[in-house]
Amino acid sequence: MERPGEIKGDVCTAEASAGPKEEKQHVSPEEPLPTSPDIQPPVKTLGPLTDADVVKLRPCEKKKVDFRDKLYLAPLTTCGNLPFRRVCKRFGADITCGEMAMCTNLLQGHQSEWALLKRHESEDLFGVQVEGCFPDTMTRCAELINNYTDVDFVDINSGCPIDLVYKKGGGCGLMTRTRKFEQIIKGMNSVLDVPLTVKIRTGVQEKSNIAHKLIGEMKNWGVSMITLHGRSREQRYTKLADWDYISTCAKLASPVPLFGNGDILSYEDAMKARETGVSGVMIARGALIKPWIFTEIKESRHWDISSSERLDMLKSFTNFGLEHWGSDTRGVEKTRNFMLEWLSFMCRYIPVGLLERVPQKINERPPYYMGRDYLESLMASQNVEDWIRISEMLLGPVPKTFNFLPKHKANSYK
């Protein structure tokens, strides 16, 4: 039973401190307050006294994510949509990331841009990637993502090579604007409850690598993981990725995990990549050409997948697409267009059973060849009409006026 003078709110009065049998201490306004350690001065408060106005309270500590020794499906513009990521999860991808979202479009409330941040329940380790060039907008964007989406990490795209992004100072442009880059990372980190990661290239010019200079700085700025694509902006996707340079950067980044990215199309490529000392590998075009690469890496084998198994994979994508975009006319055509974008990459795959030497290399142009059955030959075709024919097997005939041109005009074979 409470006694008068005991704890009220969060404050202990003089009467409680003095004990029930002692006389009350009367202090006149003119007299100095008692200095005895046993007697506390009376304090009047309205409600509990807190330090919320002094110290910013966070709802939780920053989430910890163990990125090491995982297979990371790269954020792929256009092709890295939710249905495609579901296909890759089935084949064994560990980490998935949404397509690159433009910071300004997110802040303007574009529904199509916010849709890129949607996560499927099968994606157990999922992040989103944002692109921007100003600290204030990127920080506000991170705050919105933190409050309104369900993600495990947020990634800054500082590796995008396209002119539209680079000329505004975003993407690869951030690598040469270190002051802005630092402000963006620190600002986003201050409002996020999940880890902040960064994706970079070796540099802007082909023979002038600058990533190693940035990595030391980024460790101090507070990034939780770095992904390095072993090519410069000028190279785009031509020439081979520089895995020797990635190895050097991995040592500099320690203890921050660094993932390597570039030219991985087989489990042998992945094994060689892991020998460089990276914490894990990110797979981009390799996953578009053969999504079952994740299974190959985990099982250390070459999978001579049949054309019927690949058609079953496309059936799964079709079902996932109709579930995601809808089964009305608009949803069907969206599913078809994204499937055709994917087929523009998948046609580069050469079945293991037909190779003169194993494994296939990602930057070698596939020769024209006849498959072991009609469907395998159809899937190997680089003719748009044949891709459309495959889509018609799954989604029905296209409208008479239908036309398709792939968005990705990759120059990886030049």
CA-CA distances (angstroms) from residue 121 to 73, 90, 330, 389? 16, 12, 24, 32
Do 241 and 208 touch, CB atoms closer than 8 A?
A: no
DSSP states of 264-278: --SHHHHHHHHTTT-
Residue 294 structure tokens: 């994740």
Residue 3 structure tokens: 């006694």
Residue 81 burial by Cβ neighbours in a 10 Å radius (0-12, 13-18, 19+): buried
Judge whether 160 counts as a catalytic residue.
yes
The C-alpha atoms of residue 303 and residue 211 are separated, in whole angstroms, by 35
Residue 353 structure tokens: 């059973």
The total number of residues written for the chain in this structure: 414
Q: Which amino acid type is present at position 132?
A: G
**Which of 101, 100, 153 lies closest to 123 in space, CA to CA?**
153
Of 88, 103, 141, 160, the active-site residue reads 160
The C-alpha atoms of residue 340 and residue 288 are separated, in whole angstroms, by 12
Q: Which amino acid type is present at position 22?
A: E
Do 168 and 133 touch, CB atoms closer than 8 A?
A: yes
The C-alpha atoms of residue 25 and residue 56 are separated, in whole angstroms, by 38
**H-assigned helices in 149-292:** 163-166, 178-191, 211-221, 243-253, 267-274, 285-289
Find all residues with CB under 8 Å of 335, minimum gap 6, and list them.
83, 317, 318, 321, 322, 325, 395
Q: Which value, in Å, is the radius of gyration of the alpha carbons in the chain?
A: 29
Residue 347, helix vs strand vs coil: coil
Strand order in the sheet with 96-102: 71-73, 280-283, 258-261, 225-229, 196-201, 153-158, 126-131, 96-102
Which residues have a catalytic role annotated? 160
